Structure 1
């Protein structure tokens, strides 16, 4: 699939000149990942991310699950519940699990007025670490649908496959993963100043959180190598306007749906 954006000469020169952070700096960012996301939610609470009402428009599988009589949804990287609560309001017969690296984010989900332990179970977890396993909180192979909304981009590239292996343990054979994440050459990637590049296409923000920018080919390979088949996988192009500054900037995202093959299909 061709990329939707061609860099200008100045943009290409800027990217080519950027140097990677030192091994020490990269190691420290990895070690501080949990702390940095916890500080993010301490500063922003539930006022930063918008509720994702667009999910049911973009991913028909959610409504289909509801119409077939209900099921179980697992929001990985649940933050403050910007996916759980919009879906919970629209599809009351679905059960939701949620996990996040940040304990503070989990507390915010549980403190929400609509939190109902009969319908929502939320817990802290590092999905790049198999110990403790997700199966401590979710029965193995019990989840119908997993959401990964701007989650993989926050993970070091060398740990992405491990994260997919871990979430796969709780997904039913034939279960579905849906995701949206940052696309290569997104405006936010090109705005990073010198000194923020961790490695190729992977950057640190001012607050210490990190962002990776994907191609569709990379995303498909990550999942297909772990036993998934691709339902769809494409770039989403949007224009984000800042009325105060009078500018409009191009945003690029990767939007994908993958289905876990049954054992008989993966052998």
Structure 2
């Protein structure tokens, strides 16, 4: 695979193995602290000794960036249930309720004044874990989705709920020029109705982290360009010092230690990169929190300031006005059956385009 393709894959799925049966939410700091003191003692799955800064100094061997997203989806689809439907989304973002109501025709709030239906674009559709639960809840909306992996698109279109009258699904690389994406957006199934280039809702959930650091700022610009005036961009991804990141440095087993995972060259392991501003496309990505997982998928861990800086710069380039919030939320996750737990950290955000 060419180097450019190697570093621009998207569609990182939510994993059943990494996400126990605890619903995603955005608890306050106090609720997290309370839950950690009242729960029974449990055996941790990951031994994380020391502070986050101390842990990050360990296991800094760089790895190859070679991976294959099609193989990832093929392997896990064949292995049985792996990809969880994201029924939690409309509990996290009130904006999704703007997609409308039931299909009983009682209320037409989901319709624009012109009579066209509300629209949503999902970036990195995976196996359809987002659009199909939302389509069930908001059947009068229209959904567009794409993914970097051809296999993921095949799986999404083979879903029992696939309906070209409500869904337009295709393969695309988010880092490609916007005009390339417009061409695919315009190529809609006849049943779908008018093509859409700007959407009421654009979602980017666990996707930007799968891009090489130097591609992330431009990808955010593309995302904002797809938001219609009055529409919203919904975002969630992995935050710096998430338990998944610390595990890469904690060396929990001899076999894990023998497989290098850190993708960004560590010139000074103790250095803390400046993540308050988006990098220049030509920047050296040394000391960046960019990793290869054991299944050869890629992931990056963000700060809220880093993500907000991408959005601010994209809004400036596009000459649009946005408002919203971007923050790091924590969630205590546990698996009662296996008696382990850890603290997950996510960058959670929503922005509305006001002009």
TM-score by length of 1: 0.85
Residue 121 of structure 1 aligns to a residue whose secondary structure is: strand
Name which of 98, 103, 128 aligns with 2:175.
128
- Aligned counterpart, 1:43: 75
Aligned residues: 249
For structure 2, the 5+ residue unaligned runs are 1-28, 33-47, 101-108, 112-116, 187-195, 252-256, 265-287, 316-320
Q: Whole-Å Cα distance in 2 between the matches of residues 229 and 8 of structure 1?
A: 41
Shift of 1:17: 3.7
Map 1:108-119 onto structure 2 (within 5 A): 108-119=155-166
Could you say which structure has the higher strand fraction?
A: 1
Task: Determine if contact 1:165/1:226 at 8 Å carries over to the other structure.
Answer: yes
State yes or no: 1:172 paired with 2:258: no
Residue 88 of structure 1 aligns to a residue whose secondary structure is: helix
Instruction: Give the structure, 1 or 2, with the largest relative contact order (CA under 8 Å, sep 6 or more).
Output: 2
Q: Is 187-196 or 149-158 further displaced after alignment?
A: 187-196
Could you say which structure has the higher helix fraction?
A: 1
Change (3 A) 1:168 1:49: same
Change (3 A) 1:8 1:222: farther
Task: Determine if contact 1:135/1:169 at 8 Å carries over to the other structure.
Answer: no
Residue 57 of structure 2 aligns to a residue whose secondary structure is: helix
For structure 1, the 5+ residue unaligned runs are 263-267
Shift of 1:105: 0.6
Name which of 300, 312, 332 aligns with 1:212.
300
Map 1:1-267 onto structure 2 (within 5 A): 9=50, 11-19=52-60, 21=62, 25-26=64-65, 29=66, 32=67, 36-45=68-77, 47-66=81-100, 67-69=109-111, 70-130=117-177, 133-139=180-186, 141-192=197-248, 193=251, 195-199=260-264, 200-227=288-315, 229-262=322-355
Q: Whole-Å Cα distance in 1 between the matches of residues 143 and 345 of structure 2?
A: 29
Shift of 1:20: 5.3
CA RMSD of aligned residues (A): 2.3
Task: Determine if contact 1:80/1:109 at 8 Å carries over to the other structure.
Answer: yes
- Aligned counterpart, 1:265: none
Residue 19 of structure 1 aligns to a residue whose secondary structure is: coil
Q: Is 189-198 or 56-65 further displaced after alignment?
A: 189-198
Q: Whole-Å Cα distance in 2 between the matches of residues 254 and 167 of structure 1?
A: 17
Q: Whole-Å Cα distance in 1 between the matches of residues 212 and 323 of structure 2?
A: 23
Shift of 1:250: 0.8
Q: Whole-Å Cα distance in 1 between the matches of residues 239 and 51 of structure 2?
A: 20
Q: Whole-Å Cα distance in 1 between the matches of residues 145 and 296 of structure 2?
A: 23
Shift of 1:110: 0.6
Change (3 A) 1:20 1:165: farther
Task: Determine if contact 1:153/1:213 at 8 Å carries over to the other structure.
Answer: yes
TM-score by length of 2: 0.65
Residue 224 of structure 1 aligns to a residue whose secondary structure is: helix
Q: Is 137-146 or 50-59 further displaced after alignment?
A: 137-146
**Deviation beyond 4 Å, 4+ runs, structure 1:** none
Task: Determine if contact 2:52/2:241 at 8 Å carries over to the other structure.
Answer: no
Q: Whole-Å Cα distance in 2 between the matches of residues 208 and 39 of structure 1?
A: 9
